[in-house]
Structure 1
Amino acid sequence: MQIAVITGGATPERTVAFAGAAQIVEALRSRGHAVRVVDTVTGLLSPTDEQRLLTPAVGREPPAVAELDDRERAMLSNGLAERKEVTGADVLFLCLHGGRGEGGILQAVLDVIGVPYTGSGALASALAMDKEPSRMGSSVGMTLLRNAEGLDAAVRVARAYDADVMAEQFIAGRELTVGVLGDVPLPVGEIIPKHELFDYECKYTPGMSEEIFPATVDTKLARQLQELALTAHRALKLGGYSRVDFRLSPEGDIFCLEANTLPGMTRTSLLPQAARAAGIEFPELCERICRLAGNSGSGRGG
């Protein structure tokens, strides 16, 4: 297949997207596909650009990307539709996190262009992205409060990333996650972070979290979590693949925290680990995701 990997983006998760794209590109090329890489900010990456930008390094803190915002806006409004590597591709593999790339705007543009793309449609992407602190991922902008004294400061932190701010009750307990591929739930995983929140540092710094696949849970609970993940996936009309995160309280109550329409895609990200636990290695996972792109049976909504 002719595949264009769309990555980068003007969000604090830009380096996360590049890290995933680096490994997606390598995996798909190893399967014999012709792969080009397009940054939503700068356009087509040359081989030199690929070597410079597509690295597994993420860093302990998100980068400042405010200066990239106008450039991405221009690219999405008129640049993508003019690029042959985009319009001529068999499929677009979206490796973007947060902002316009995951929140439905890019998906709406691609619907107009008419090229199949991975993941969920515009409406489903927008619905799933409306979450804490608001329309951001990787726990960027989140603050854990113990009392009301820090509320104003927490709101200021969140508003640095979005005009809307979401506040919700903190739920203590085990952090569990279930990936969905096609319409099939993958094995349950558990995340044990060094911090109380599975924050940016814990997500991307080696040794700051323990990730267990499959999770040590009984068969009944595992099946229940998988059924709930699939229910959330279908209710939001997500397409292709997703990852649904849960908290299991000390009392045994299950809380669905969020659904991720474009979950992390490095080889050690949560969804690829779940796929590996199901016997699906990373190159095959990437290829399966491509084959689900634009598939009417993939459940894409919006």
Structure 2
Amino acid sequence: MTPDPPQLPAPPEHRAYLPAVEPERQITDWGRSERVEGALDKTLYEFLYHYWFRVSVEGIEHVPAAGGALLVSNHAGALPPDAAMIAKAIKTEHPRPRPLHLTVEHFFKGYPGLSMLVQKLGGVPAHPANVHRLLDDEEQLVLVFPEGRKGTEKLYKDRYRLRRFGRGGFVESAMRARAPIVPVAVVGAEEAMPVFGQIRPLQKLTGLIYFPITPTFPWLGLLGGVAYLPAKFSIRFLEPIPTDQWGDAPWDDKGLVQTVAEEVRACIQEELYDMLANRKSVWLG
């Protein structure tokens, strides 16, 4: 067998085109990139948070400064910016900022470019084993949207009416990790990119999970805030619900799991109604 020829150094005139060494770059086991996340944070997120959505935050002290915790929020809009704004609120307002991991649907795997970006920004495939590892083993903050795609498909006429929170899988994950559940209520996302209808034929043609009719072209939201209407965002973090108060294996009681899930849903729904009742303007708050 002929040995491979030795790798010769690049000619001097080509060295300028070689990728630079980046000793400061950090990528976690989940594929999260501080470099990519930091670049997006300093540009797009900073603009959206402070100048476009003018986010106001209440109850940030309810987000634990250490240990695992599961944040549970409402979710809506054609291309919802709520996850990014919740993460930015923790980074900006919390006395001890912490990274936030977001569980995402397996739908993203079908779009290599988008799936790679979501992963670099802290997205983790929605699976109980992943949530448990983040909460229990790594003691991280995890954000889940139990409404799932039902929330993002919701029409404007049904705004701020929460869909069913699945089968309570998020409660079971929090119970197994003995991690508190922090309910989060978000107002503004449903007006930032409202959905007035769904085009089912185009949904099947494109393979997207939905193809909404919205005043702005939703995928431009990845490139700049101008794709969103400038609705004022209000984020309210509610008092944590401990999950270590129901014995040794409360997750085996499916009735209890479903009851707690419904209580979390009702808590967020009540806060949304209160926030809406006190909001004077969609655009000014």
TM-score, normalised with respect to structure 2: 0.32
Higher-helix-fraction structure:
2
Larger Rg: 2
TM-score, normalised with respect to structure 1: 0.31
Higher-strand-fraction structure:
1
Structure showing greater relative contact order (alpha-carbon pairs closer than 8 Å, 6 or more residues apart): 2
